[in-house]
Structure 1
Amino acid sequence: MLLEVIALSPEDAKLAARGGADRIELVSAIEEGGLTPAMAVMEEIAAEAAIPVHVMIRPHSRDFHYSEEDMGQMVREMKSLRFPCIGAYVLGVLTAEQKVDEEKLKRLLDAADGVPVTFHRAFDEARNLEEAYETLSRYPQIRTVLTSGGKPSVLAAVDPIKELVRQSRKGSGSSGPEIMAGSGLTLASVSDFVKQTGVRAVHFGSGVRQNGRSQAPIDPARLAALLAVLKPQ
């Protein structure tokens, strides 16, 4: 079971690594759903990163429809936030019709220059999740889809997540992007959720933070308890 933990700061990154997380998703402005982090934060984390860093590339929180100016900013950010510890860029783009914007996606994948990509929860606003997943499956550079199954909380989307997991593993050839479930998972709910859906990757934010608050520091005790559930000895 893969555990990704949101990091907002260098201290978060250290606590996540020490606590046993497999990787971090580095963001700023978590109250807006996560935006591109500051260069200074990335530089400090990169200096002593112990686990892979997946870095958010998102210029604003208004929507997932990006202008040419937005696209230019995202390309510049990917080029500047390029460090050996980067395991993936986290991004997503939709058309006005709420379909994956393949034209812009291809440009962003080219700018990533071989670095893997996670398609973030823009996916949950797609008009048809199975159709969106099929589109993303055509791009080998996209390794992961972060999703709450189209619901505010993934706990209300057991059936959609189960179907997406099935879709990701169908066929005899290589599987599609990994389905990573996130948003609303808790220590109390995660074990049953994993059993019901078959996911092999989960994403935690407030669930491993002090008092369950999204902007609070990571709580090592909560993280340890989560790892004991996900990866029992």
Structure 2
Amino acid sequence: MTKPLIELCVEGIDGFLAAQDAGADRVELCASLVEGGLTPSLATIRATVKAAKIPVHVIIRPRGGDFLYSETEFETMVEDIKALREEGVAGVVIGCLTPDGRIDEARTKTLVEAARPMSVTCHRAFDMTADAGEALEALIRCGVNRVLTSGQRDTALEGIAILKSAHEQAGGRIVVMGCGALDAENIQKVRDETGLTELHFAALTTVPSGMTFRNPHVGMGGTEKDREYELTLTDRDAVRAIIAAAKS
């Protein structure tokens, strides 16, 4: 059995360093995982690439919410990708949809062309499409290298049938990378039942803030006040355990 490649979804430089130290094969670098991942700052990207001994893929997502972008938002995505070509980034992670739940092929092709020679992954915008089989063919036509998916369900376990079907449909034309609440208890089952060669997860833990002074009257950005005094970090021990399970 070929051991699967493991990609870690991380937030910021500290998350990257934890994932690299714990044995990740590759990372998807994000900001704001609470919103599913947004484009990190250029300084964060540069610090990560400088410290990297493994490939770094950067998400290109200007905001949270849906994947139906305005023209001005799309222009910023193109410019972000062009900037990253000069930064030693191995790949970018993108996703654009049409209002009726299809892959926006015109925009996807534009982003792929802007990215070369970097690798291009389509993120879980794929899971929001109306027809997984049709969406997979669209990504192949656009020249996308891989697609990240939980099988159009909340978890990979629930999406096993679609993950297996997508992998078989891909037939080596695109990599299907599975994700969705993978942990040390379930990752072998997903690996074995789908045949996937790449798996992706974020092993996160929440720890208390080091702040000793806490203002009880203010919550930033409309969040719960307690959220201001919590940090979400990549759990090195969990990463090691999940990778060991995936590769055993």
TM-score normalised by the chain length of structure 1? 0.90
Code of the aligned partner of 1:152 = D
- Which among 195, 207, 222 is matched to residue 198 of structure 1? 195
- Tell whether the 8 Å contact from 2:60 to 2:81 is kept in structure 1 after alignment: yes
- Tell whether the 8 Å contact from 1:75 to 1:111 is kept in structure 2 after alignment: yes
Counterpart residue number, 1:188: 185
- SS for the counterpart of 1:137 is helix
- Distance in 2 between residues matched to 1:215 and 1:151, nearest whole Å: 27
- Which among 152, 164, 189 is matched to residue 162 of structure 1? 164
- C-alpha deviations, 1:24-65, integer Å up to 9, x for none? 000111111111111111111121211100100011122111
- Tell whether the 8 Å contact from 2:206 to 2:233 is kept in structure 1 after alignment: no
- Tell whether the 8 Å contact from 1:49 to 1:85 is kept in structure 2 after alignment: no
Contiguous gaps of at least 5 residues in structure 1: 170-174
- Which among 184, 193, 204 is matched to residue 209 of structure 1? 204
**RMSD, aligned α-carbons:** 1.8
- SS for the counterpart of 2:232 is coil
- SS for the counterpart of 2:233 is coil
- Which among 2, 14, 29 is matched to residue 32 of structure 2? 29
Say if 2:58 is the partner of 1:49: no
Say if 2:228 is the partner of 1:228: no
Alignment of 1:2-13 (within 5 A): 2-13=5-16
1:112 to 1:163, Cα distance in 2 relative to 1, 3 A: same
TM-score normalised by the chain length of structure 2? 0.85
Shift of 1:9: 1.8
- Distance in 2 between residues matched to 1:211 and 1:56, nearest whole Å: 22
Counterpart residue number, 1:118: 121
Alignment of 1:25-104 (within 5 A): 25-83=28-86, 85-104=88-107
- Tell whether the 8 Å contact from 1:52 to 1:85 is kept in structure 2 after alignment: no
- Tell whether the 8 Å contact from 1:31 to 1:215 is kept in structure 2 after alignment: no
- Distance in 2 between residues matched to 1:121 and 1:229, nearest whole Å: 24
- Tell whether the 8 Å contact from 1:210 to 1:216 is kept in structure 2 after alignment: yes
Counterpart residue number, 2:227: none
- SS for the counterpart of 1:156 is coil
Runs of 4+ in 1 over 4 A off after TM superposition: none
- C-alpha deviations, 1:83-106, integer Å up to 9, x for none? 554221100111111111111112
- Distance in 2 between residues matched to 1:130 and 1:48, nearest whole Å: 38
- Distance in 2 between residues matched to 1:69 and 1:76, nearest whole Å: 11
1:10 to 1:197, Cα distance in 2 relative to 1, 3 A: same
Max Rg structure: 2
Contiguous gaps of at least 5 residues in structure 2: 208-229
Percent sequence identity is 34
